[in-house]
Structure 1
Amino acid sequence: MHSLTALLCGIAAIITLSCLLGMLARRFDQPAVIGEVFAGILLGPTLFGGVVSQTLFPTDIRPFLAGLASVGVVVFMFLVGLEVDHGGLRGKAGVAATVSIGSILVPFGLGAALAVQLADRHPGPDRLAFALFMGAAMSVTAFPVLARILKDRNMHRTALGALALTCAAADDVLAWTMLAVIAALVNTGDDPWRLLLVAPYLVVMFAAVRPLLGRLAAKGGLTPVRLSVVLVGLLLSASLTEWIGLHAVFGAFLFGAVVPRQGTERIRQEILEGVGQFTAVILLPIFFVVGGLSVDLSRIGVPGLVELGLILMVAIGGKFMGAFLGARVHGLPSRQSAALATLMNTRGLTELIILSVGLQLHLLDQDLYSLMVLMALVTTAMSGPLLRVLHPARRPEAPVLEPVRL
């Protein structure tokens, strides 16, 4: 089959299966991303020894799919940065800081300790970077998936929902900062001097790019010229951080995060709706499939199941305990603290992006990557059912977080 024909047919198959399984996931009250990730796994080598993946995605088209997947991740991380609520971070500084720190430090420490146990079976180029990466991977919360869960349950306007989004945004910032440090440790290579450019890059982003974006966005709605300027800036920021050694996702996330929030509401919303829809329908499903090609669940075996159990214990227990204790310190009732901790355990797509970075940096081998992907699916899928028990939807008017001054 001609390469272009195979590529177009492969993308069509990806979109179709992702859409169908995403709809099926929604029927079971799960985020669509659960079904889309399963689509990637089903199209990978897990079933039928890879015959499906070899038929649909011949070797010669996989580099093109990988390129499209990378672009999708870069654009998605820009949208995540664009959604971070700066005002929310400031307005709930006390309780949000405590919950965020707790939900980062506890799973980070447990994840780094687990890495010490896993290092012998999954050797990598740098044990320190591996331990730091496992800690960061256990600490992340998926801001976009969490926002969707809250909106579906009409919780996004409650105090509990607002607090969860604020904490998730803070977790995202901390997680991507940690990932940038880890990537810098691994990617020093022959040009360690490039890391010296990080400080000038940050200065330019906040002192020059931020006000320019503010003036551009304040002129009105989204036009082809303004969209072009934003996309060019996004790609240049991502390519620069990739060249420096911090990975492209950091530059993409920061470019979205530095966009001023005051006076830019219209253009930000239009970007989120337009670019976000294209990314969600076409580019991200390709990312799921490219990631699924590295997931082989048929190779897990008994030792892998033991490791999966340990990973789930650390991921769920560490995140829950850190967030729960942080909420209780500020006087939240136990039930609401548990609901908040459950929400913070949502990892979703953000976790998959971090895992893909770990795979690219050779910090994860294929077996451990597969187990971590399962962990991301389990922790995301369990959030909805647990939330229905801890925060029933039938009582949306009930006062929440009364003892806390936000």
Structure 2
Amino acid sequence: MIMVGLALILALAHLLGRLARRCGQPAVIGEIVAGILLGPTLFHGALSETLVPVDTRPMLTTLGNLGVALFMFLVGLELDYRLLRGNGRTTAGVAVGSIVCAFGFGVLLALYLWDDHSVEHRLAFLLFIGAAMSITAFPVLARILTDQGIQHTRIGALALASAAVGDVAAWLLLAALLTLTGSQNSWQVLLVVPYALAMVWVLRPLLGRLLAAPARGRRDPEDGAVEQGLSATQLATLTALLLVSGALCEWLGVHFIFGVFLAGAIVPRRGTERLRAAVRDRFETIIWMLLPAYFAVSGLKVDLTTVGGDGLGELGLILLVAIGGKFGGAYVGARFAGQSGRSATTLGILMNTRGLTELIILGVGLQLGLLDTELYSLMVVMALVTTAMTAPLLRWAYPSRMIDADLRELAEQRIGEPKYTELARPVGAKRPEAG
């Protein structure tokens, strides 16, 4: 039955994902909607229990988590540090501004919601809503940037870096919440920083020597150059690295997606261009099959039948706080860092992307009893709305002519670097569709 459930989820998720892309939205919107359609919202759960029985969902969740892990590893693997040179002030300003502002408004919102959605731990509830409002969905943001063809621009790099910093802070806060609710030992959280330092300063040099070892390759018939391939040992090493790093982060109280992202980020960049391309080719097919399962299973937990008239009013307030807090904080932070109004507006729009990471945090809150089903459903709708509005607003704030100009400028600065020659494309040229 697990195979039938996975096949059904994949078919519906990819169908709605393609429809979402035709509407100018990231595929994740359609994939989450697929889960909602399969969930208890329609026919009071009869459809979901028939098509995706409860006993098959843990295995589907495991497969979805594997897809998320591989995707986040590739995001770290493709992170371009050179785009961040001289932009540390802006990254810090956007990250801190968006977190502080969104968190503060989120706590005030939680005080209002407490009467109707009270839980055992009031302080944990207040902090959780604040943390949930502070989230930017790092992997979904990466997909949107890729869809728009701006992942290699300065704005794209700034947005990714700011989202990474902000999400690490949010996950550390979530780890503190787990400690507060008795779900996590406090001393483990203290090991997060030493672990990250060990990955960068100890494991990275060792990994560089291993990946520098010659692998089997093939000779290009045009220029005679030998293209380095990916050996089975190297592939097994990188796969084991991302899995172990994710598991260790889970043990430390930080979600596994940051462990696998860190594993990809520490892979040396110099001399590994072809090897990283080979890794990307191997993983992308698996990701294409498994990632929709995670979005769909998350949607299965949403029950919109519990939302009444009062719930719609709460949804409006949640959206106002979520959008205003992230945009306002990111905009002010970027302006204080010396960015132009258009750049600050673009970063504020991008920081409102929630999607995947928001769903992960909301799932944790539901599991810990910090959210009831109604509030969980409203927060999922908020995540969908804030993610859906990102692409159209981004096209308004950062039009194609500006993207083309930025990419040409970047290519001219890096003339002679094969990896970046493809960035120089004619104005108006169609970008390749993301998978």
TM-score class, shorter-chain normalisation, is 0.7 to 0.9
Quote how far apart the aligned CAs of 1:71 are: 3.0
1:316 corresponds, among 296, 299, 323, to 323
Quote how far apart the aligned CAs of 1:291 are: 1.1
Residues 89-238 of structure 1 mapped to structure 2, 5 A cutoff: 89-188=84-183, 194-195=188-189, 198=192, 201-202=195-196, 204-219=198-213, 221-238=229-246
375-384 or 78-87: which moved more? 78-87
325-334 or 281-290: which moved more? 325-334
1:20 corresponds, among 1, 6, 15, to 15
Q: TM-score, normalised by structure 1?
A: 0.86
Whole-Å separation in 1 of the counterparts to 2:313 and 2:248: 41
Q: Is the 8 A contact 1:80 1:144 kept in 2?
A: yes
Whole-Å separation in 2 of the counterparts to 1:334 and 1:84: 26
In the superposition, relative to structure 1, how do residues 126 and 83 fare at CA in structure 2: closer, same or farther (>3 Å)? Answer: farther
Whole-Å separation in 1 of the counterparts to 2:12 and 2:241: 33
Whole-Å separation in 2 of the counterparts to 1:187 and 1:94: 37
Whole-Å separation in 2 of the counterparts to 1:261 and 1:73: 23
Q: Is the 8 A contact 2:34 2:296 kept in 1?
A: yes
- Correspondence for 2:277: 269
1:65 corresponds, among 55, 60, 68, to 60
In the superposition, relative to structure 1, how do residues 352 and 207 fare at CA in structure 2: closer, same or farther (>3 Å)? Answer: same
Residues 160-193 of structure 1, C-alpha deviations (whole Å, 9 max, x = no match): 344333333333443334334434444555x655
Residues 109-139 of structure 1, C-alpha deviations (whole Å, 9 max, x = no match): 1112222222333333433333333222222
In the superposition, relative to structure 1, how do residues 272 and 311 fare at CA in structure 2: closer, same or farther (>3 Å)? Answer: farther
In the superposition, relative to structure 1, how do residues 390 and 223 fare at CA in structure 2: closer, same or farther (>3 Å)? Answer: same
Give the gaps of 5 or more residues in structure 1: 1-5
Aligned length: 394
Residues 260-305 of structure 1, C-alpha deviations (whole Å, 9 max, x = no match): 44444433333334223312x2222211222122101111112221
Quote how far apart the aligned CAs of 1:39 are: 0.6
Whole-Å separation in 2 of the counterparts to 1:79 and 1:90: 21
Whole-Å separation in 2 of the counterparts to 1:317 and 1:108: 11
Alignment RMSD, CA only?
A: 2.8
- Percent identity, aligned pairs only, is 56
In the superposition, relative to structure 1, how do residues 175 and 195 fare at CA in structure 2: closer, same or farther (>3 Å)? Answer: closer
Q: Is the 8 A contact 1:111 1:315 kept in 2?
A: yes
2:307 corresponds, among 286, 295, 300, to 300
Q: TM-score, normalised by structure 2?
A: 0.81
Quote how far apart the aligned CAs of 1:324 are: 1.3
Quote how far apart the aligned CAs of 1:330 are: 3.6
Residues 35-46 of structure 1 mapped to structure 2, 5 A cutoff: 35-46=30-41
- 1:31 matches 2:26: yes
3-state SS of 2:24 partner: coil
In the superposition, relative to structure 1, how do residues 94 and 121 fare at CA in structure 2: closer, same or farther (>3 Å)? Answer: same
- 1:334 matches 2:341: yes
Equivalent residue letter for 2:295: F
In the superposition, relative to structure 1, how do residues 255 and 359 fare at CA in structure 2: closer, same or farther (>3 Å)? Answer: farther
In the superposition, relative to structure 1, how do residues 385 and 188 fare at CA in structure 2: closer, same or farther (>3 Å)? Answer: closer
3-state SS of 1:101 partner: helix
Which of the two has higher C-alpha Rg?
A: 2
Q: Is the 8 A contact 1:112 1:134 kept in 2?
A: yes
Q: Is the 8 A contact 2:365 2:371 kept in 1?
A: yes
Equivalent residue letter for 2:35: G
- 1:380 matches 2:387: yes
Whole-Å separation in 2 of the counterparts to 1:9 and 1:278: 18
Equivalent residue letter for 2:239: L
- Correspondence for 1:257: 265
In the superposition, relative to structure 1, how do residues 263 and 187 fare at CA in structure 2: closer, same or farther (>3 Å)? Answer: farther
Give the gaps of 5 or more residues in structure 2: 216-228, 410-435
